[in-house]
Chains A and B, each alone.
Chain A
Amino acid sequence: MTELGIEVPIESIAKELKALWAGNSSRTNACMMNLAVFTENPEHLEDNSQVISELTKDHSCRALSVALDRHSSESDTTLWLTAHCNMSNGKKTVCCEQLSFLLKGYKPGRMRNTVFANLNSDLPLVFWWQGELTEVFEPQLYTLIDRFIFDSSTWPEPKKGYEKIMEAAAEVQKRFTIQDIAWKRSYNARMAFAALFDEPIHRKELVNISSASVKVGKGLETTGLLILAWMATQSEWEFHSKNSKNAYSFKNTVGNLIHTTLDVGGSVCIAEIGMKSDSASFSVECRADERHVFHQKIKTQTCIRNSTSPALDLDTNELVAMQLSRGGKNALLSKVIPILMKLMA
């Protein structure tokens, strides 16, 4: 497996890491965080190495790439070592270490130990969990995670996944910032939508809104639900009822009902976010033939305004890169989750 580097005995990690840097003063070992990437699909190990190589161009880290082959009849661990090097400002070569582990056979605690034994001390642990949360996601693991990245749109049962996440967050409290790629995916769309209400005169219409709609691409239902939950949370709507699949009602602060719908299908990631009242409409649309822009539309009794905003159609790896740039506690996502859970019920 050449993408993963050289295979080394697991008991010699420290020695091999030292040898990696010895005698080559032209390279700088840079590290701002520990980045653990976990998958239960062993075939993804090499792909993840390529992804990490891209990520390290902008985010220096010690990468721990772990794949668990739980169905293997064997029970051992294989380790590979490599470094991802990039030119910094065209001058020096900056490198990040990557340790790749293939864990054959499932043994409770082994993955956790693999990660913990190889952390670069005093640096935060960012953990990217690929796929569904299994029993490997347990308290002794997550209590030491600083940032937890996942994609709820890949879960067969997002509600169950979120329940586990919330349980973990409640237990840990101090650290454990959650970062859902399904949520990050909607960032530019939310920015474009938020801009529609920058003028005070448009914000006054919020209390009159009677309907809202969200359209997302195939397989992105969770992203759509997150956007709906966000609109409702920030507008201070209270969840009222689920009318049918993907149709929900809310009540606003003055007791008016708002009917909302979520359409899932098509190729555009986030095709539309809209709100309407009797006299106004606010929408953000992205067309299949113009995926790099959101068309922002405001129509009120006194003005019609059309403008555009960037729409970055990013893949998962690019979204993870954006997450790595982010600081803070991601408080807004935490705020949105209660309504999300009601929508998913």
Chain B
Amino acid sequence: MNNPFREDLVSKNKPDPCSVVIFGATGDLAHRKLVPALYNLTVDGELPSGVKIVGFARRDKSDDTFKDGLEKLNKEVSRSGHDEYVWDRFSQNIVYHRSNFDDIEGYRSLAKRLDEIDAERGGKGNRLFYLSIAPEYFDDVLEKLNEVGLNEAAEGCWARVIVEKPFGKDHASAEHLNEVVNNTFHEKDTYRIDHYLGKETAQNIMVLRFANSIFEPIWNSGHIDHVEISCAEHFGMEGGRGGYYDSAGALRDMVQNHLLQLLSLVAMEPPTDLSPDGVRDEKVKVIRSLRKLDTPEKVRKNVVRAQYTKGFVNGNEVPGYREEDRVNPESETETFVAVKTYVDTWRWSGVPFYIRVGKRLPKKATEISIHFKATPSVLFNQQGSDKAEENVLVIRIQPDEGISLRINSKLPGAAIRMESVKMNFQYSTSFGKSSPEAYERLLLDSMAGDATLFARRDEVEEAWKFVDFIQEAWKGQHDIPLAEYEAGSWGPNEADDLIEAEGQDWRRF
């Protein structure tokens, strides 16, 4: 029996009250994203009452010192602002549970604590375990949860696990991690976060494609010349990120997850329904259909990797990557990747997809651009006359969220001269209500049991298979160079060559 009074009060998903156990609760993610997200949901009245937050971590803290630390960050980052009264009430539902990840007694006492919380709430309850920890601790945490039975839900309740990226560092490790997770939790209770999927603009890709009749008939190789998916960041290794990043690199940090997820949303077939598996079935087909770069030669021809050298960003001089804090001075980690790939399906045959990601580029922007084919060389596009620019549909994921369409228009005057103009829709000037942040949406969805915006096991593993070929080629020292680019530029010349080989060029942001 659903709660009849919830009808129409939440737009789609009805989250269940639960205990949220955050492993790694003293870490940055919990402080900057997870707890502020739960706080914002409380401010909006969206968080079910009775939600308790249990922070599980190794450091020696009391409930109060833990909450003080959370409050300090919440004041800085909460999108709703920080209200003392609301925080006071909200924080009454936060407790700290100190334990090492490999200490079984810590889990036994956790189980006891959760039972007490459930009793106080009026019966056995739901549990959400958030693994905000490095993957090397997954085994310990999941095995211990299994051992004390916390992975098993009481009748009528649920127990779910949320895992953060990086989800492995290659296919083999991802497969192993999936086995470890699925030995403890069923796949239906496993939620792999890719926070890009929680962004309003990423969710809007499906609405744009399938709630408007004009796009689907032209969303194919008959009309589209190529697709670009770019994620540019202007920052480098601030905040001590160098340590983590140097072991990951752009390919694993961004391409394997976020950018392939965006690609799958752009390239997928219409799902049969909007159920989580209905959507994810179509997405995983796209990833499986990516043309494999299964030889070093193919990698050399279709992938560019590069590392930034010193330069200027936002008027400030910045060091090169190898001079950054916590980065190996001889590092071969790429901070920039450009990949040319194809989705070998009937819809997309022959249409190149260019994926580009880089740090220390001139500005921060994540955009998808669909470049349509040029008009025939008659009428307005003849040889020797002003060329009509191709039409481009741009989906701006962040910042300046919105959609624009570039079309050609006649310039006023007697002669027929053309110029490109932009039809532009912007979230900022269109919708009054500010969207919940990605983590707010994702946490609510996990409490409601909706996995649509979470990556499924096969999606993750197939994405790793694609990326593994590239990693192997780089590791195998097959004379695949690590190019350089100046910080503040748009990347290495080699990336320009990659796209110019097809007579195209990167869209200027």
Q: With A198-B49, A300-B122, A331-B8 known to touch, is A203 a contact of B429 (CB < 8 Å)?
A: no
Could you give 17 example pairs across A and B, Cβ below 8 Å? A28-B429, A59-B432, A89-B428, A190-B9, A197-B3, A197-B6, A198-B49, A199-B50, A199-B121, A200-B1, A300-B122, A302-B123, A308-B89, A310-B42, A310-B45, A332-B7, A332-B8
User: Cα distance A330–B11 when bound, in Å?
Assistant: 11
Interface residue A201 (Cβ < 8 Å from any Cβ of B): yes
B213 interface hit (Cβ, 8 Å): no
User: Which residues of B (105-123) have their CB < 8 Å from a CB of A?
Assistant: 120-123
* Residues in B neighbouring A32, C-beta threshold 8 A: 430-431
Q: What residue of chain A has the Cβ atom nearest to residue B42's Cβ?
A: A310
Quick one: given A302-B122, A310-B45, A310-B86, are A198 and B429 in contact (CB under 8 Å)? no
Q: Does B413 sit within 8 A of A, measured CB to CB?
A: no
Q: Mark A209-247, 1 if CB is under 8 A from B, else 0.
A: 000000000000000000000110011100000000000
Q: Decide: A191 near B1, CB < 8 A? Known: A60-B430, A332-B7.
A: no
Which chain B residues (1-48) contact chain A, with CB distance < 8 Å?
A: 1, 3-9, 11, 16-17, 42-45, 48
> Considering the complex, which residues of chain A in the window 298-339 have a beta carbon less than 8 Å from any beta carbon of chain B?
298, 300, 302-303, 305, 307-310, 321, 324-325, 328, 330-332
Nearest B residue (CB) for A187: B9
B156 at the interface (CB under 8 A from A): yes
Checking B6, B44, B122, B429 against A30 with a beta-carbon cut-off of 8 angstroms, the contacting residue is: B429
Interface SS of chain B:
loop
> Which parts of B340-399 form the interface with A (CB within 8 Å)?
none
Find out whether the CB atom of A60 lies under 8 angstroms from the CB atom of B429.
yes
CA A234 to CA B3, docked complex, whole Å: 9
**Complexed CA–CA distance, A307 and B400 (Å):** 38
CB distance from A330 to the nearest CB of B (A): 8
Contacts of A303 in B (CB 8 A): 120-122
State whether A190 touches B429 (Cβ < 8 A): no
Q: Chain B residues near A310: list those with CB within 8 A.
A: 42-45, 86
Candidates B3, B4, B9, B85; contact of A292 at CB < 8 Å: B85
Pairwise interchain contact B50-A198, C-beta atoms closer than 8 A: yes
Q: Does the CB pair B85–A200 fall under 8 Å?
A: no
Task: Across the interface, name the chain B residue whose C-beta is closest to A95.
Answer: B429
Question: Do the beta carbons of B432 and A324 come within 8 Å of each other?
Answer: yes
A177 located at the interface, meaning its Cβ lies under 8 Å from any Cβ of chain B in the complex: no
> With the chains together, A26 CA to B436 CA distance in Å?
30
- Are A199 and B429 closer than 8 Å at their CB atoms? no
In the complex, the answer to whether A234 meets B5 with C-beta atoms within 8 Å is yes
Which residues of the partner chain B approach A235 to less than 8 Å between Cβ atoms? 4
Interface, chain B (partner A; CB < 8 A):
1, 3-9, 11, 16-17, 42-45, 48-50, 85-86, 89, 120-123, 125, 156, 400, 426, 428-433
CB neighbours of B123 from chain A (8 A): 199-201, 302
- Which of A190, A197, A236, A305 meets B121, CB within 8 Å? A305
Residues of A within 8 A of B431 (CB): 32, 325
Would you call A94 an interface residue if the criterion is a C-beta within 8 Å of the partner chain's C-beta atoms? yes
Chain B's closest residue to A324 (CB) is B432
**Does A196 lie at the interface of the complex (its beta carbon under 8 Å from any beta carbon of B)?**
yes
Query: Which one of B17, B45, B433 contacts A188 once the chains associate, using CB atoms below 8 Å?
Result: B45
Q: How far is the CA of A30 from the CA of B402 in the complex (A)?
A: 14
A199, A292, A331 interface centre (most CB from chain B within 10 Å)? A199
Are A194 and B6 CB-contacts (below 8 A) given A199-B123, A300-B122, A310-B86?
yes
Q: Is A88 an interface residue (CB 8 A)?
A: yes
Q: What's the count of A-B pairs with C-beta under 8 Å?
A: 104
Q: Is the CB of B45 within 8 A of A198?
A: no
The 3 closest A-B pairs by CB, nearest first: A58-B432, A194-B5, A332-B8
In the bound assembly, the distance between CA atoms of A305 and B17 in angstroms comes to 14
By a beta-carbon cutoff of 8 Å, the part of chain A in contact with chain B is: 28, 30, 32, 57-60, 88-89, 94, 187-188, 190-204, 206, 230-231, 234-236, 292-293, 296, 298, 300, 302-303, 305, 307-310, 321, 324-325, 328, 330-332
In contact, B122 and A203 (Cβ under 8 angstroms): no
Report chain B residues within 8 Å CB of A302: 122-123
Q: Which residue of B lies closest to A191 (CB)?
A: B45
Given A190-B9, A303-B121, A328-B11, 9 further pairs, Cβ under 8 A? A28-B429, A60-B430, A88-B426, A203-B4, A235-B4, A310-B45, A325-B433, A330-B8, A331-B8
CB distance from B122 to the nearest CB of A (A): 4
Pick the residue among B17, B85, B86, B426 that contacts A199 (CB under 8 A): B17
Whether A197 and B50, one on each chain, are in contact in the complex, defined by CB atoms closer than 8 angstroms, is no
Q: Write the chain B residue with the least CB distance to A207.
A: B1
In whole angstroms, how far apart are the Cα atoms of A127 and B386 in the complex? 47
Q: How far is the CB of A307 from chain B (nearest CB, A)?
A: 5
Q: How far is the CA of A188 from the CA of B42 in the complex (A)?
A: 12
Residue of A nearest to B425 (CB): A32
Chain A residue at minimal CB-CB distance from B434: A58
Q: Which of A190, A202, A325 contacts B432 (CB 8 A)?
A: A325
Task: A198 to B16: give the CA distance in the assembly, Å.
Answer: 7
Which residue from chain A places its CB closest to the CB of B400 in the assembled complex?
A: A89
Q: Chain A CB within 10 Å — which of B8, B17, B86 has the most? A: B8
Q: Report A-chain residues with C-beta under 8 Å of the C-beta of B428.
A: 88-89
How many angstroms between the C-alpha atoms of A58 and B430 in the bound complex? 8
Nearest-Cβ distance from residue A41 to partner chain B, whole angstroms: 26
- CB closest chain-B residue, reference A330: B8
Q: Which residues of A contact B43 (CB under 8 A)?
A: 310
Partner of B3, one of A60, A194, A236, A308: A194
How many angstroms from the CA of A198 to the CA of B45 in the assembled complex?
Answer: 13
Q: Chain B: which residue is nearest A322 at the CB level? A: B433
Tell whether, in the assembled complex, residue B49 and residue A307 are in contact, meaning their CB atoms are under 8 Å apart. Answer: yes
Chain A residue nearest in CB terms to B157: A200
Quick one: which of B1, B3, B122 contacts A305, CB cutoff 8 A?
A: B122
State the Cβ distance, A94 to closest chain B Cβ, in Å. 5
* A305 with B85: CB separation less than 8 A: no
**B400 proximity list for chain A (CB < 8 A):** 89
Q: How many angstroms between the C-alpha atoms of A201 and B7 in the bound complex?
A: 18
Q: Return chain B residues, CB-CB under 8 Å to A190.
A: 5, 9
Given A199-B50, A199-B122, A194:B432 Cβ within 8 A: no
* Cα–Cα, bound, A203→B5 (Å): 10
Please give me the residue from chain B that is nearest to A194 by CB atom: B5
Contact present for A307 and B432 (CB under 8 Å): no
Smallest beta-carbon distance B443→chain A, Å: 16
**CB <8 Å contact, B433 and A58:** yes
Return the chain A residue nearest B93 by Cβ: A307
Q: For the complex, what is the distance from the CA of A236 to the CA of B7, rounded to whole Å?
A: 13
Verify A198–B3 contact, CB threshold 8 A: yes
Which A residues lie within 8 Å of B16 (CB)? 198
B112 to chain A, nearest CB (A): 18
Chain B nearest CB from A106 CB (Å) reads 34
Q: Which residue of A lies closest to B433 (CB)?
A: A325
Q: How far is the CA of A230 from the CA of B8 in the complex (A)?
A: 11
A198 and B17 within 8 A (CB):
yes
Q: B50 — which chain A residues lie within 8 A by C-beta?
A: 195, 198-199, 305, 307
With a CB–CB cut-off of 8 A, which chain B residues contact A188? Answer: 45
Shortest B82–chain A CB gap in Å is 14
Q: Is the CB of A30 within 8 A of B430?
A: yes
A200 to B126, CA, bound (A): 11
**In the complex with contacts A307-B49, A310-B43, A194-B9 CB distance below 8 A:** yes
